[in-house]
């Protein structure tokens, strides 16, 4: 039976309970064939004769969930003009909500999916490439509601679906490495214990392993090689049959929401897995190359590459922008996710050549009633000229703050002249975000992330050790700002091990007590190591997976991290919604909302900030000066605290401020001892002194002496 006319929108395959509507945009296609693929790989082809606004569409009665399909696009093939239609290629629907299968790279060596028309008759090519799959859109969400945790109360945990769950002893083997495994109560309980309010998942859009890695016997582990912006990655499903990954992903979100945990997706809209001009034709390249990709203006057979991956999406084209916005809305409305972290987000702002802060993409997000209401996090850089854009994104956006990472690492490894920069990062980076009306929580603070050393490796290695990647050490960052504490790599020296443990606590405490949104890398709470590899993008194995036995080995660090998160939650002075003003908090008041002191108890002067050898500083946070109202309209107040940092290699004598700031102070956080006290201990009177050990941090709470 030929297709009924159907409708041009929505794009993609839409099942209505009776049949499925198919719609594909291509401005250059002469005609499009819809190919239904049977279990044995044979095709049933239907020409889509209806075209409205360059959308080719048709409706097939009786076609439902589980049906595999693809497209063959007939049109011009002239790479010198940027035209790459080739009906020999079975193409993935850019709007596919599920994708099954992978690229058969052995077949690629014989010309598929590479090559020009006429090189080979690929009548059987459906067997060698992924297929789009019609999905069942119906799911019982019950009373699921988004947690909508305020930014200033958010604690983010960056994790990998597979890496987090592959070795968990309490997750059943068949569920390890899957969405269902991540939703297992043992995993959720661990996140809850840590005080995590949002899990930021590394890419879960369908991705493939590129040919170069496959030749080396490696796999794309991280997933930054997307081929489907609507499809949950099939490889993370326990039951992928009949597009089960969609239902399983929804079940994971529902379980995390029940625990009060938001789900944020790391999304890769800056490029696709089709690579450069030598890459495979899998989807958009063969559908409408000029519309979907940025081409070199005078040599359109080549691709603009701001990402280091071979191509960049053409965000200047309305249908490409529509694709991105439709994808974002789909994940919010249909999959119930709570936000997005945009990989290499500066690429999305390149309308012409330079990064444009007011580009069309950001305008669309700003006015969209769905997308504008979820958490939007930018990785504010790409690899193109002028791509480092920390602090330059629009007001709705938060950003991964790379300057926080670099400054905190430098401070704790004892680099000179970091006091002023360190103070700025500790207090929310107002120099980056205040001028355009944003708040401290615009800064997503992190010390470690998936790209780079783990926390354990940051204090154990001076240089990267990426031999397993097979690139002779050329891959991965060289500027790690790490310090091995005296020995490179593993050691049994008790002094080195004790120093490394303290340095980990220093970094964790600085992260969780700074203004802004803290982000933990999965496993840092228990000392996960990658053996010095700072680029495990291709290591889908024990090197990158979480070793859950460390939760027992390093139980003290897990407890310390959880206690810090609980301490932060209890005290709003560490998670302010507004920047410090450095002024008295009210009429007739003398104390400012924040003050800075030298270890001798004197207020910091200009020359103190410029001291290139300064390694210690004390911050006073006034709990009466939070300048905020709670949900009931009541003034938010808290206790007042001193934060004392000593990055020097020797102990120093810390003199407390005079009685104007408080009659007495008691230690509540101590990274030397590894303690976070529930209640203040023995007070030290104003003007008194205490020993601040080398390379340590203490937090003191104001008490009555």
Residue 141, SS3? coil
Listed in sequence order, the residues at least 6 apart from 594 whose beta carbon sits closer than 8 Å to its beta carbon are: 427, 580, 582, 619, 620, 621, 622, 625
The radius of gyration computed from the CA coordinates of the chain, to the nearest angstrom, equals 27
If you search the block for the tokens 């444009």, which residue do you land on?
356
Residue 646, SS3? strand
Q: How many residues does the chain have?
A: 705
Considering only CA atoms, which of 36, 50, 62 is closest in space to residue 8? Answer: 50
Considering only CA atoms, which of 686, 617, 681 is closest in space to residue 652? Answer: 617
Tokens of 624: 């009466």
If you search the block for the tokens 């009060």, which residue do you land on?
260
Considering only CA atoms, which of 310, 576, 537, 533 is closest in space to residue 443? Answer: 576
CB 647 within 8 A of CB 615: yes
Within 10 angstroms of residue 370's Cβ, the number of other Cβ atoms is 13
DSSP string for 362-392: HHHHHH-TTGGGSEEEE----SSTT---TT-
Instruction: Return d(Cα 90, Cα 93) in angstroms, integer.
Output: 10
Phi, psi of 433 (to 5 degrees): -120, -15
DSSP annotation of 641 reads: E
Tokens of 502: 């303290």
Look up 343 and say whether it is catalytic. yes
Which residue in the list 33, 210, 274, 379 is annotated as catalytic?
379
CB 399 within 8 A of CB 443: yes
Instruction: Return d(Cα 696, Cα 507) in angstroms, integer.
Output: 10
DSSP annotation of 41 reads: S
Instruction: Return d(Cα 188, Cα 199) in angstroms, integer.
Output: 10
Considering only CA atoms, which of 107, 63, 68 is closest in space to residue 88? Answer: 107
- The neighbouring-strand residues paired with 24 are 56
DSSP annotation of 697 reads: E
Instruction: Return d(Cα 199, Cα 187) in angstroms, integer.
Output: 12
Instruction: Return d(Cα 338, Cα 406) in angstroms, integer.
Output: 28
CB 697 within 8 A of CB 644: yes
Residue 494, SS3? helix
Q: For 467-509, what is the HEC assignment? A: HHHCCCCCCCCCCCCCCCCCCCCCCCCHHHHHHHHHHHHHHHH
Instruction: Return d(Cα 211, Cα 88) in angstroms, integer.
Output: 20
Instruction: Return d(Cα 373, Cα 304) in angstroms, integer.
Output: 32
Q: How do 131-133 and 99-100 pair as beta strands?
A: antiparallel
Distance from the Cα of residue 306 to its chain's centroid = 19
CB 694 within 8 A of CB 666: no
Which residue in the list 43, 343, 399, 670 is annotated as catalytic?
343
Q: Where are the beta strands (DSSP E) in 9-76?
A: 12-15, 19-25, 31-37, 43-48, 50-52, 55-61, 68-74
If you search the block for the tokens 């850089």, which residue do you land on?
381
DSSP annotation of 416 reads: S
Tokens of 311: 């191509």
Quick one: which H or E segment has residue 703?
Answer: strand 696-703
Look up 540 and say whether it is catalytic. no
If you search the block for the tokens 């019609």, which residue do you land on?
134
Residues annotated catalytic, as ranges: 343, 379
């Amino acid at each position: 039976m030929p297709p009924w006319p159907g409708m041009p929108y929505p794009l993609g395959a839409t099942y209505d309970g009776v049949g499925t509507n198919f719609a594909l945009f291509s401005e250059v296609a002469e005609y499009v064939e819809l190919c239904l693929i049977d279990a044995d790989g044979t095709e049933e082809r239907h020409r889509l004769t209806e075209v409205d606004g360059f959308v080719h569409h048709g409706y097939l009665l009786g076609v439902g969930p589980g049906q595999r399909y693809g497209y063959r696009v007939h049109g011009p093939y002239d790479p010198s003009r940027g035209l790459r239609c080739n009906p020999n290629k079975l193409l993935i629907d850019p709007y596919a909500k599920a994708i099954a299968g992978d690229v058969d790279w052995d077949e690629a060596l014989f010309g598929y999916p590479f090559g020009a028309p006429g090189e080979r008759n690929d009548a059987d090519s459906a067997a060698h490439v992924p297929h789009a799959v019609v999905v069942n859109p119906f799911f019982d969400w019950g009373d699921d509601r988004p947690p909508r945790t305020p930014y200033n109360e958010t604690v983010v945990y960056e994790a990998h679906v597979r890496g987090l769950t592959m070795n968990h002893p309490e997750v059943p083997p068949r569920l390890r490495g899957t969405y269902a495994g991540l939703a297992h109560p043992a995993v959720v309980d661990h996140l809850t214990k840590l005080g995590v309010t949002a899990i930021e998942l590394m890419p879960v859009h369908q991705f493939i392993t590129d040919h170069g890695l496959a030749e080396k016997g490696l796999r794309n582990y991280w997933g930054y090689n997307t081929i489907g912006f609507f499809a949950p990655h099939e490889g993370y499903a326990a039951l992928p049959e009949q597009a089960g990954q969609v239902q399983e992903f929804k079940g994971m979100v529902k379980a995390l929401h029940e625990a009060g945990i938001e789900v944020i997706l790391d999304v890769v809209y800056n490029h696709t897995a089709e690579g450069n001009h030598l890459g495979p034709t899998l989807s958009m390249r063969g559908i409408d190359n000029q519309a979907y990709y940025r081409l070199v203006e005078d040599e359109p057979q080549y691709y603009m590459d701001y990402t280091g991956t071979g191509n960049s999406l053409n965000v200047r084209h309305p249908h490409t922008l529509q694709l991105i916005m439709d994808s974002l809305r789909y994940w919010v409305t249909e999959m119930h996710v709570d936000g997005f972290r945009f990989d290499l987000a500066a690429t999305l702002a390149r309308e012409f050549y330079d990064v444009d802060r007011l580009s069309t993409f950001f305008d669309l997000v700003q006015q969209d009633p769905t997308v504008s209401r979820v958490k939007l996090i930018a990785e504010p850089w790409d690899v193109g000229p002028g791509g480092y854009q920390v602090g330059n994104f629009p007001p709705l956006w938060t950003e991964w703050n790379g300057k926080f990472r670099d400054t905190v690492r430098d401070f704790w490894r004892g680099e000179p002249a970091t006091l002023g920069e360190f103070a700025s990062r500790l207090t929310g980076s107002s120099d980056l975000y205040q001028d355009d009306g944003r708040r401290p929580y615009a800064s997503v603070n992190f010390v470690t992330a998936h790209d780079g050393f783990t926390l354990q490796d940051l204090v154990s290695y001076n240089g990267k050790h990426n031999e397993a990647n097979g690139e002779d050490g050329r891959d991965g960052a060289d500027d790690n700002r790490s310090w091995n504490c005296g020995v490179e790599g593993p050691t049994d020296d008790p002094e080195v091990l004790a120093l490394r443990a303290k340095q980990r606590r220093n970094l964790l405490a600085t992260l969780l007590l700074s203004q802004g949104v803290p982000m933990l890398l999965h496993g840092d709470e228990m000392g996960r190591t990658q053996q010095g590899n700072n680029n495990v993008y291709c290591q889908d194995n024990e090197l990158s997976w979480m070793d859950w036995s460390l939760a027992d080995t390093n139980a003290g660090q897990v407890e310390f991290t959880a206690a810090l998160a609980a301490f932060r939650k209890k005290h709003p002075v560490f998670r302010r919604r507004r920047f410090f003003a450095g002024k008295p908090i009210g009429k007739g008041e003398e104390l400012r909302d924040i003050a800075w002191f030298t270890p001798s108890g004197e207020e910091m002067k200009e020359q103190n900030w410029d001291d290139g050898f300064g390694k210690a500083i004390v911050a006073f946070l006034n709990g009466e000066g939070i300048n905020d109202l709670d949900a009931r309209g009541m003034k938010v107040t808290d206790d007042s605290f001193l934060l004392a940092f000593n990055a020097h290699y020797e102990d120093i004598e810390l003199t407390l401020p005079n009685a104007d700031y408080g009659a007495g102070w008691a230690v509540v956080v101590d990274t030397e001892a590894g303690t976070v006290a529930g209640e203040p201990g023995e007070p030290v009177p104003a003007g008194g002194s205490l020993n601040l050990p080398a390379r340590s941090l203490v937090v003191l709470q104001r008490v009555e002496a």
